[in-house]
Amino acid sequence: MFAVLPLRLSLRGLCLSLGLLCASSPAWAIDLPARFRSEAYALTLSQFVGGLDHPWGMAFLPDGRLLVTERAGRLRLVGSDGRVSAPLAGLPPIMASGQGGLLDVAIDPQFRSTRWIYLSYAEPRGQGRNGTSVLRAKLDETGLSEPKVIFRQQPAVASQLHFGSRLAFAPDGTLFVTTGDRYSERDQAQSLDNHLGKVIRIRADGSVPPDNPFLKQAGARPEIWSYGHRNLQGAAVHPLSGQLWTHEHGAKGGDEVNLTQAGVNYGWPVITWGVDYSGAPIGEGSRKAGMAQPLHYWVPSIAPSGMAFYQGQPFAQWQGSLLVGALRGQMLVRLALDGTKIKQEERLLQGLGQRIRDVRVGPDGLIYLLTDEGDGSILRLSPQP
């Protein structure tokens, strides 16, 4: 009911009078609903939910409701009418500081029968150390039950940066988990004896699949799928091929999109298309034998976050496109594909003035975006009638 309210109205007063979660209107660069254009469509961007505290991840349930995480350590359930629940009970201890907090959320492929959901988060480990962890728990109307931590990034590090932390299920039911290099430990992304700067592949109960690439290699962590990554904040499985695609932050330039395959070294920090924040070079250049090249990269950085393949009817001309949110770039990027080649980049919603943290395609075929703000929103993008 609030999808088309102009944001200059007193949303907070209206929401409170109806008993809904809502905060004061954010300092938008433009009013919503707003009109934008793409090459194929006139676009309408509207607010679906407001008043969220740095929302980080979202996932649609089979009944059309939406789970959304807030980095401060709250999980909320959003109805199809935009009503937001109180924080759900049963979450584990979470380190909500710096880039850490409650991060991504994923739904079990057999959710109707299992009720399992999966949460990634920055877990405090004692003595100022922490790491990316993944919790599996059953969802009910008020909270979580039967919690189990199914993955803990090792080693724990005293850092508030680079947790990575996207979750994506493969067609075979295995779960991909992306991790960051924790910034201060970037050289460890090249070592197989730890989980820093890696893509992890586990079963839904946390056990290791028997066909993981380093399972039988002495000294290697058996959960590792790929390595040589910096800070992966986007992961999506291609709906036709079942292949995992990821993107990761570069330093100053060098954000990457990768087709992320078993056992492959993606080069960080030995090779990169970016430079250090000081302007100094990193590693040995942009190419090296035995290290994979990205399918696409950005210089300067857009700080990509969240990613989804588009499938649906409302945007039929975008079928199969890869949709990427941008934090620094404050936009939505559409990458048109030809197989595994990126043939076109289209930059959308420029001028919005908001950091796009996550991207999802809803059951209605419309595109839902999270804005990473203290008064964050779920936005809904639709083709203009």
Q: Where are the domains of the chain?
A: 11-383
pLDDT for 28: 62
At residue 75, the pLDDT reads 98
My answer on whether omega of the bond before 155 falls inside 30° of 0, hence cis, is: yes
Residue partners of 23: CB distance under 8 A and separation at least 6:
12, 50, 51, 375
As a whole number of angstroms, the distance between CA 248 and CA 243 comes to 17
Q: Are 61 and 106 in contact (CB under 8 A)?
A: no
Q: How many helices and strands, by DSSP H and E, does the chain display?
A: 2, 24
Report pLDDT for 372: 97
Q: Which distant-in-sequence residues (6+ apart) come within 8 Å of 63 by Cβ?
A: none
The one-letter amino acid at 175: L
Amino acid found at 315: F
Q: Architecture of domain 11-383 in CATH?
A: 6 Propeller (2.120)
Would you write out the chain's pLDDT as a tens digit for each of its 385 residues? 223 333 332 333 333 233 344 443 455 667 899 999 999 999 999 999 999 999 999 999 999 999 999 999 999 999 999 999 999 999 999 999 999 999 999 999 999 999 999 999 999 999 999 999 999 999 998 899 999 999 999 999 999 999 999 999 999 999 999 999 999 999 999 999 999 999 999 999 999 999 999 999 999 999 999 999 999 999 999 999 999 999 999 999 999 999 999 999 999 999 999 999 999 999 999 999 999 999 999 999 999 999 999 999 999 999 999 999 999 999 999 999 999 999 999 999 999 999 999 999 999 999 999 999 999 999 999 998 6
User: How buried is residue 378: exposed, middle or buried, by Cβ count under 10 Å (0-12/13-18/19+)?
Assistant: buried
Which pLDDT belongs to residue 26? 57
d(CA 60, CA 77): 10
197: three-class secondary structure by DSSP: coil
| Catalytic positions | 162
| Separation of alpha carbons 137 and 185, rounded Å | 31
Coil vs helix vs strand at 13 = helix
